[in-house]
Structure 1
C-alpha cells in the first residue's frame, strides 16, 4: 500500500494531524494556539512601555528639585502686606522697620523638605548681603509649632528674624504652601515671588534684575 493510499485510508483526521505538524513560525505557535500567540504579542507590546516608565521614574527620582522658580502673584507690583508678630526671641517684629531696604520674606515650616533643603542657601545669601548691606531676610512660620522651629534654628543656624504670626498674615500674602519667598524692594513693593526653594545665587540674580546691586558690592 502506497503512502498516498495510507493517508487516504485514515481520512480527514489524518490530514489534520499532518497540517498541525507543519510549523507556522518556529513550530511553537501552532502548538500553543491563538490564545498563546495573543499573550506573547501583549508581552512584546507591554515590555517597551515598562522600560519607558522605569526610565521616567529614575529620572524623576534623581532629578534635582526645581529652585528659584518665579511665579505670578496678585501681589506683584503692589505694596507688600505688613508683617507684625513675635519673633522666636520674644521680640516684637514689624516689617515697616525695613522700609528703605530690600527684604526677602520667606514662608517656611520645619516639616517641609524643600524648606530644609533651601535653608543653607538662605544662610549663604544672608551672610553675603550683610557684608554688602543690600538685603535682609525674614522668615515667617507657616503651620508649625514654636518648639520645632526653635530646635530647627538651634541645629541649623540662621541669623535673621523668625516671626510667629497669626493666620491673617499668611492669608494676606496668599500663601497656599511652603516654601514661598517674596522679594520686596526698598519702597515696600513686591517685585518677585518664588516657590519650590531658593538658592543664594538665584536670589542674588533676581535681586540684581529687580534693581538691587549684587552681593559683592557694598552700597554707598
Structure 2
C-alpha cells in the first residue's frame, strides 16, 4: 500500500493541469507555466506557422487566413478532460466576440480520428463550429512545440504571437479578460 499511493499520486498529478502530449515538456516562461499550466510569453513575436489543417467544412485552412485580424487559437483534443471542461467558456467568449468581428477565435482539434467523429463529439456537447477545425496529423501542435493540451495562443493582426496559455482557463473570467485586453494596448504583466 505504501508503494501504491506515491505511484498513484505521480500518475494523477500531471493530469490535474493539462493533458501531456509528450513525456518531457519544454521549459516555460513563468513559474506557473513550469508546473504545466499558466501564461507563457517565451514565444512572443514569433510568426504563426504556415500549417494547413481542416476548417469545419473539411476544406484547407491555415492561420494566415486571419491576416489583418487578431486570432485566439485553442489546441484541444476529445480525450483531454481539461480541454473538454474549457470548451464551453471558450464558446461563450467566441459568441461574445462574434458580432464585433475584431477577434477571430478558433479551436483546432488535435484528434487523429476522422473529422466526422470530432464533429459528432462537439454536437453531443452543443459546442459550435468555432471548435470544428481539425488537425488530424497534429502538425499545428508540432510546429508550435505544444506539449500540453489545452494550449491557447493569441496572435496579433500581423500574425505574431502575443502569448500562450498552457492548460485550461475560464475564458469568461477575470484572468482571461485581462489577457485579452492586451490587444487594446493595456499593459502586460
Q: TM-score, normalised by structure 1?
A: 0.60
- Residues 42-53 of structure 1: pairs in structure 2 closer than 5 A: none
User: Is 1:174 matched with 2:145?
Assistant: yes
- Structure 1: stretches of 5+ with no match in the other structure: 1-56, 214-220
Cα offset for 1:196? 1.4
d(CA) in 1 for partners of 2:59, 2:118: 16
**Greater per-residue helix proportion:** 1
Cα offset for 1:187? 0.8
SS at match of 2:121: helix
d(CA) in 1 for partners of 2:46, 2:103: 19
> Among 160, 164, 168, which residue is 1:193 paired with?
164
Cα displacement string for residues 81-122 of structure 1 (whole angstroms, at most 9, x for unaligned residues): 123122342122122110111111111001101001001111
Judge conservation of contact 1:84–1:165 (CA < 8 Å) in 2: no
Which runs of structure 1 show a deviation greater than 4 angstroms over 4 or more consecutive aligned residues? Answer: 64-68
> Among 155, 160, 171, which residue is 2:124 paired with?
155
Cα distance, 1:88–1:134 mapped onto 2, change above 3 Å: closer
Tell me the number of residue pairs that the alignment of Structure 1 and Structure 2 aligns.
153
> Among 148, 154, 159, which residue is 1:183 paired with?
154
SS at match of 1:104: strand
d(CA) in 1 for partners of 2:185, 2:49: 21
Higher relative CO (Cα under 8 Å, sequence separation at least 6) belongs to 2
Q: TM-score, normalised by structure 2?
A: 0.69
User: Is 1:211 matched with 2:184?
Assistant: yes
Cα distance, 1:170–1:65 mapped onto 2, change above 3 Å: closer
- Residues 1-220 of structure 1: pairs in structure 2 closer than 5 A: 69-73=38-42, 75-146=43-114, 147-156=116-125, 157-160=127-130, 161-198=132-169, 199-201=171-173, 202-211=175-184
Judge conservation of contact 2:41–2:162 (CA < 8 Å) in 1: no
- Rg comparison, structure with higher value: 1
Judge conservation of contact 2:154–2:161 (CA < 8 Å) in 1: yes
d(CA) in 1 for partners of 2:72, 2:185: 12
Judge conservation of contact 1:102–1:136 (CA < 8 Å) in 2: yes
RMSD: 2.9
